């Protein structure tokens, strides 16, 4: 992959989680206990750091779990902007000793009050203004943050000329799209669940994704002769809607959709050790590529490589930059008729 530039990436992590996982140890009677910072935002941040980015994470950290979370995140070389949080972060306990993940316990995070929401908004807005790209991840469970929060943030950042990459679903994705997010990543299941696609066929997903796109100047919406292969630029005067869609499809090639073309992003086949975290790694790779100023297809290849290699590992959002960038050279982007 070209360029050694290390972009500054701001990540909105609305619901960081403390993760505890039981694994088989060298002695079958003594399991290994792994404790890590987790949740979508922190998994994205971890992969972005692995790809050489300087990462700033904005999120609420409170209670016993929040104290541990913040410390662990900083130990992983992430710059953490902590929002005071009276309720406290969530946590889960998973058992992987049988080969598959089994959830033994889940403690959901507390809802943010209006003052905490205001603090979170102000913090991520100011940090993103100094970043090359802002990654906006969702809340889990989703009702913990109002959907309007995401649309307002995207709109304000777009007005300031900041590039945005969002990994959202449901109403939050709709609000971000309406505000004009530059890149929106959704899974095929999320498009179908939102009623935007009837099934998982390429044709149905393509048409569903195109509904969210902003038209290119001089082109009918959703149609064009050439697939754009250039760095993203923020057009603050254009109407809302998404600049590009990245639709992940589990083991199938992802779709990169813009108003002027649709392409499959095809990675070499690999054996899956743990499928969780692939989509978050894809988002991180795409965002780092956008932050570097890569062409859109090159950013998609970097994202697909990060996602594909992550499923060969047990750590969510983990990988090595040199391996991911070399693997990206084996990924093809081919136009879909």
Average confidence score pLDDT of the chain:
89
Global confidence as pTM: 0.90
CA distance 187 to 250: 8
Token digits for 326?
């070399």
Q: Are the C-beta atoms of 303 and 282 separated by less than 8 Å?
A: yes
How do strand 133-137 and strand 102-107 relate by DSSP bridges?
Answer: unpaired
What's the Rg (C-alpha) of the chain?
19
> Dihedral of the CA atoms 176, 178, 179, 180 (nearest 10)?
90
> Can you give the pLDDT at residue 202?
92
Q: Work out the average pLDDT over 91-99.
A: 92
Query: pLDDT tens across 273-310, in order?
Result: 777 778 999 999 999 999 999 999 999 999 999 999 98
Q: What is the DSSP string of 115-131?
A: HHHHHHHHHHHHHHHTS
Query: pLDDT tens across 235-254, in order?
Result: 666 667 899 999 999 889 99
Between residues 127 and 233, the one the model is more confident about: 127
Please report, for residues 2, 32, 43, 96, 100, the alpha-carbon distance to residue 103 in angstroms, rounded to integers and kept in the order given: 41, 16, 18, 9, 10
> Can you give the pLDDT at residue 2?
43
Strands of 244-249's sheet, edge to edge?
Answer: 79-84, 54-61, 8-12, 133-137, 163-167, 183-187, 244-249, 252-258, 261-266, 332-335
Which residue in this structure is represented by tokens 């992802």? 254
Between residues 140 and 232, the one the model is more confident about: 140
- What are the strands, taking DSSP E only, across 24-137? 32-38, 54-61, 79-84, 90-95, 102-107, 133-137
The β-bridge partners of 18 are: 37, 91
Q: Coil, strand or helix: which one is 76?
A: coil
Q: Where are the domains of the chain?
A: 8-215+238-336
CA distance 88 to 269: 41
CA distance 203 to 197: 9
Q: How many CA atoms lie within 13 A of 336 on its CB side?
A: 20
Give the CATH number of domain 8-215+238-336; options: 1.10.3210.10, 3.40.1190.20, 2.60.120.10, 1.10.357.10. 3.40.1190.20
Q: Percent of the chain, pLDDT > 90?
A: 73
> Can you give the pLDDT at residue 237?
64
Query: pLDDT tens across 4-40, in order?
Result: 489 999 999 999 999 999 998 877 678 899 999 999 9
Please report, for residues 129, 144, 175, 177, 301, the alpha-carbon distance to residue 148 in angstroms, rounded to integers and kept in the order given: 20, 12, 6, 11, 31
């Amino acid at each position: 992959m070209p360029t050694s530039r290390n972009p500054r990436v701001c990540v909105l992590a609305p619901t960081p989680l403390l993760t505890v996982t039981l694994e088989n140890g060298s002695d079958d009677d003594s399991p290994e206990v792994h404790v890590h910072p987790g949740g979508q935002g922190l998994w994205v941040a971890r992969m972005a750091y692995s790809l050489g980015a300087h990462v700033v994470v904005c999120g609420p950290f409170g209670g016993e779990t929040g104290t541990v979370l913040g410390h662990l995140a900083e130990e992983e070389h992430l710059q953490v902007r902590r929002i005071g949080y009276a309720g406290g972060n969530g946590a889960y306990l998973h058992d992987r000793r049988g080969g598959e993940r089994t959830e033994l316990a889940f403690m959901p995070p507390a809802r943010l009050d209006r003052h905490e929401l205001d603090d979170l908004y102000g913090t991520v807005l100011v940090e993103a203004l100094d970043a090359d790209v802002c990654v906006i991840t969702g809340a889990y469970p989703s009702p913990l943050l109002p959907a309007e929060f995401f649309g307002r943030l995207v709109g304000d950042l777009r007005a300031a000329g900041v590039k945005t990459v969002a990994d959202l679903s449901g109403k939050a994705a709709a609000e971000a799209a309406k505000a004009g997010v530059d890149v929106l990543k959704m899974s095929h299941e999320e498009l179908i669940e939102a009623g935007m696609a009837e099934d998982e066929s390429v044709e149905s997903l393509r048409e569903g994704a195109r509904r969210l796109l902003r038209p290119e100047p001089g082109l009918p919406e959703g149609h064009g002769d050439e697939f754009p292969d250039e760095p993203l630029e923020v057009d603050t005067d254009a109407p809302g809607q998404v600049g590009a869609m990245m639709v992940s499809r589990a083991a199938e090639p992802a779709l990169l959709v813009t108003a002027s073309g649709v392409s499959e992003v095809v990675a070499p086949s690999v054996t899956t050790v743990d499928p969780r975290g692939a989509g978050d790694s894809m988002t991180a790779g795409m965002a780092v590529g956008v932050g570097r100023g890569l062409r859109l297809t090159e950013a998609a290849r970097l994202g697909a490589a990060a996602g594909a290699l992550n499923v060969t590992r047990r750590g969510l959002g983990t990988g090595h930059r040199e391996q991911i960038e070399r693997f990206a050279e084996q990924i093809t982007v081919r136009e879909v008729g």
